[in-house]
Amino acid sequence: MGDIIQLLPDNVANQIAAGEVVQRPASVVKELLENAIDAEATIIKLIVKEGGKTLIQVVDNGRGMSVTDARMSLERHATSKITSADDLFHLNTKGFRGEALASIAAIAHLEMQTRQEIDEVGTMIRIEGGDLITQEVVVTPKGTSIAVKNLFFNIPARRKFLKSTQVEHRHIVDEFHRVAIAHPSIQFYFYSNGSELFNLPAVNLKKRIVRIFGQKTNEKLVPIKEETQLVVIDGFVIKPEYAKKSRGEQFFFVNNRFVKSPYLHHAVNSAFEGLLKPDTYPGYFIFLEVDPESIDINIHPTKTEIKFDDEHSLYAILKSCIKHSLGQFNIRPVLDFNKDPNLDTSYASTQQFGIPPMVSVDRTFNPFSTSEDKKKLGGFKKHTGQWEGMFLDLEGKEEEKDDFSSFTVESELISGSIFTEREGIDRIGVPTFQLKRKYLVSTIKSGMLIIDQGRAHQRILYEKFLSSITIRKTISQQLLFPISLEFSKSEITAIREIKESLIALGFALEFISDTRIEISGIPPLVKESELPTILDELISDYQSEIKSEGYTESEILSKALCKSLAVKTGDILDLESQQALVNSLFGCKESKISPFNKLIYITITDLEIENKFL
Ligand code: ADP
Ligand code: MG
């Protein structure tokens, strides 16, 4: 056989490289925005259509390119940012690999218009799948506009692999957030399908965060600051009582570049230790400035993972810095940091009937403590109301009873398996007791049953909410005074998307403006005082879960709501509640696994017990 090795044609090589650089429309958004920033633009516009599947365009007022550079920029390994491998260690630009534009051009229709300040006229280039279609002279403002259409048009397999428009849109919004937070002094616009999603004027970091995540964020931020030889830390953490049940707002920037670092994330978590309620996650916007020579950001092609030379010290410094700030804030809780009168509209002042979000942080909580410190438990009081609510379901109102009677039918089916005949249908009267404020223990035909109370209640509520949404038969608790709540624009978009399901769950709501809704009715189990928190959680869960797909909207919402409303570890349940819980659990369609795929109960057989005594 003769020689068989040949060099890949450029367009094939570019398509392969594109596989690394461009996973989805959001990757294109990231590359284009970063190029605009590297070109020192002060105003950047992002325009997308259909989650970026049909159009992604970035327009900047940066330095633009010469005729030759415009053409060159679309070649592989074409970069103005480094000239030798050594430069890699002193980077202060976003890009440096010189392959983004070439890769994008290889798998899409790309149109570039660009002009430098010193040039009279600019250049327009059209490329389709790596082939140059036209290059001509145009009259265009200073700066660069790059439009990317029909991404993956020539790689059908990749195009098919794209998720729904909604999901791809979410990824773009996430990417936009990261870039916009890292560069508050640049003005950003973001248009999607012709409507303006964000208009972010050049401001400071705090105002930028507030502008993106909504007015109410203002009161949640605690500044952090630290300067050592190794690192300069700056930014904000979210007060522990506003911690969310989903990992929403968690941002690390190293030398102004968004990165993911499980290790540093752990440092933040440990600084919050003891301040967070179970199953909540801290929010943060943390900027670390380190010597570029002490990091390697190039270990991952999309450049979000990072390696530090001295991780251990960084960990310790970050942790103590956050602890310090949180400590300060604990001692002086009324202090408003960096108070900015323009942004100072909290819930309280905008509601007709001001109810501030009341989330209690139980600093003394210990799931294994004894019953003497009962009184200290914040969680107990909070949830008794919901328990009463649950009883209404079981014994109370007409419509609710329907739900329950259908449960009973189901439980007859199950009774054959683990309960004795007498216990099968109605376990009221069967002994139960609560263990460690976490488990319910009871007897069954074959031995002993240990139920995780939180997971069991989640399952019960989940099925209830799911059926509410599906059969659209709900009760709403009318509020005496409607509550008006402020949200960010993207949250409002999410609320619009799930409006029908929210109504089916028992919320009565109306859109007042593009950042405000008015609530006049809530589901029976929701307490008015907890409404803002619960809605926040619902929306952020919806926004983050929508990305994972595989779940329907009803499932996502039912999951989010049951997580918020279910009893928790630490809640004390009286006998009646315990029995009702066990009863309803075994009336569920699925009683073994929680909506979050966790085991709800275990059984220990007589034999296993007897064997222990051998
Ligand atoms: P990299 O950013 O890694 O250098 P890219 O393929 O993203 O590689 O861009 C190649 C080159 O094109 C850049 O180095 C820069 O000189 C030029 N360029 C790209 N986008 C812009 C822009 N918006 N304004 C000015 N120059 C740009
Ligand atoms: Mg680049």
Report the separation in Å between the CA atom of 185 and the middle of ligand 1, taken as the mean of its atom positions: 21
| Proportion of the chain above pLDDT 90, given as a percent | 46
* Stretch(es) of the chain classified as CATH 3.30.230.10: 207-328
What residue's CA is closest to ligand 1, atom 7?
Answer: 100
| Proportion of the chain above pLDDT 70, given as a percent | 78
Give dist(CA 487, CA 583) in Å, integer: 39
Task: Report the pLDDT value the prediction gives residue 386, as an integer from 0 to 100.
Answer: 40
Q: Which atom of ligand 1 is nearest to the CA of 60?
A: 23
- Per residue in 479-536, pLDDT (tens digit) is 888 999 999 888 898 999 899 889 989 999 999 998 899 999 999 888 888 898 889 8
Q: Which architecture does CATH list for 207-328?
A: 2-Layer Sandwich (3.30)
Which has more confidence, 292 or 346? 292
Query: Long-range contacts for 353-357 (Cβ within 8 Å, ≥24 apart)?
Result: 353/480, 353/481, 353/483, 355/483, 355/528, 355/529, 355/531, 355/532, 357/242, 357/529, 357/530, 357/532, 357/533
Task: Report the pLDDT value the prediction gives residue 522, as an integer from 0 to 100.
Answer: 93
User: Does residue 338 have a pLDDT over 50?
Assistant: no
Task: Report the pLDDT value the prediction gives residue 480, as an integer from 0 to 100.
Answer: 86
- Per residue in 350-360, pLDDT (tens digit) is 333 334 444 44
* 40: CB partners within 8 A, 6+ apart: 62, 63
Q: Which atom of ligand 1 is nearest to the CA of 104?
A: 6
Distance spanning both ends of the chain, measured CA to CA: 76
Q: Which atom of ligand 1 is nearest to the CA of 35?
A: 20
Report the separation in Å between the CA atom of 97 and the middle of ligand 2, taken as the mean of its atom positions: 7
Ligand 1 pocket, CB under 6 A: 31, 35-36, 39, 60, 62-65, 73, 78-81, 95-102, 144
Chain-centre distance for alpha carbon 517: 21
Give whole-number Cα distances, 137 to 57, 73, 119, 127, 209, in Å: 20, 17, 11, 15, 40
Worst-scoring range by mean pLDDT, 161-165, 177-181, 245-249?
245-249
The structure's pTM equals 0.67
Out of 3.40.720.10, 3.20.10.10, 3.40.50.300, 3.30.1370.100, the CATH code matching 425-614 is 3.30.1370.100
* CATH topology classification for 10-202: Heat Shock Protein 90 (3.30.565)
Q: Which atom of ligand 1 is nearest to the CA of 103?
A: 6
Q: Which atom of ligand 1 is nearest to the CA of 62?
A: 24
Is residue 18 very low, low, confident or very high in pLDDT (cuts 50, 70, 90)? confident
Report the separation in Å between the CA atom of 155 and the middle of ligand 1, taken as the mean of its atom positions: 24
Task: Report the pLDDT value the prediction gives residue 422, as an integer from 0 to 100.
Answer: 55
User: Does residue 569 have a pLDDT over 70?
Assistant: yes
Best mutation site among 32, 35, 97, 115 for ligand 1 pocket (most ligand atoms within 8 Å of CB): 35
Task: Report the pLDDT value the prediction gives residue 304, as an integer from 0 to 100.
Answer: 72
Task: Report the pLDDT value the prediction gives residue 24, as an integer from 0 to 100.
Answer: 93
Report the separation in Å between the CA atom of 247 and the middle of ligand 2, taken as the mean of its atom positions: 29
What residue's CA is closest to ligand 1, atom 19?
Answer: 35
Report the separation in Å between the CA atom of 98 and the middle of ligand 2, taken as the mean of its atom positions: 6
Give dist(CA 92, CA 89) in Å, integer: 9
Ranked by mean pLDDT, which of 211-225, 334-348, 531-545 comes out on top? 211-225
Task: Report the pLDDT value the prediction gives residue 555, as an integer from 0 to 100.
Answer: 87
* Stretch(es) of the chain classified as CATH 3.30.1370.100: 425-614
What residue's CA is closest to ligand 1, atom 23?
Answer: 36
For 244, counting Cβ atoms within 10 Å of its Cβ (0-12 exposed, 13-18 middle, 19+ buried), the class is buried
- The ligand minimizing its distance to the Cα of 104 is 1
Q: 467 forms bridges with which residues in the sheet? A: none
User: Does residue 68 have a pLDDT over 50?
Assistant: yes
Which has more confidence, 125 or 387? 125
- The ligand minimizing its distance to the Cα of 115 is 1
Q: Which atom of ligand 1 is nearest to the CA of 58?
A: 23
* 106: CB partners within 8 A, 6+ apart: 11, 14, 15, 17, 18, 129, 130
Task: Report the pLDDT value the prediction gives residue 119, as an integer from 0 to 100.
Answer: 96
* Stretch(es) of the chain classified as CATH 3.30.565.10: 10-202
Report the separation in Å between the CA atom of 232 and the middle of ligand 2, taken as the mean of its atom positions: 26
User: Does residue 385 have a pLDDT over 50?
Assistant: no
What residue's CA is closest to ligand 1, atom 21?
Answer: 35
- Per residue in 124-162, pLDDT (tens digit) is 999 999 899 999 999 999 999 999 999 999 988 888 889
Report the separation in Å between the CA atom of 96 and the middle of ligand 2, taken as the mean of its atom positions: 6
Give dist(CA 183, CA 554) in Å, integer: 37
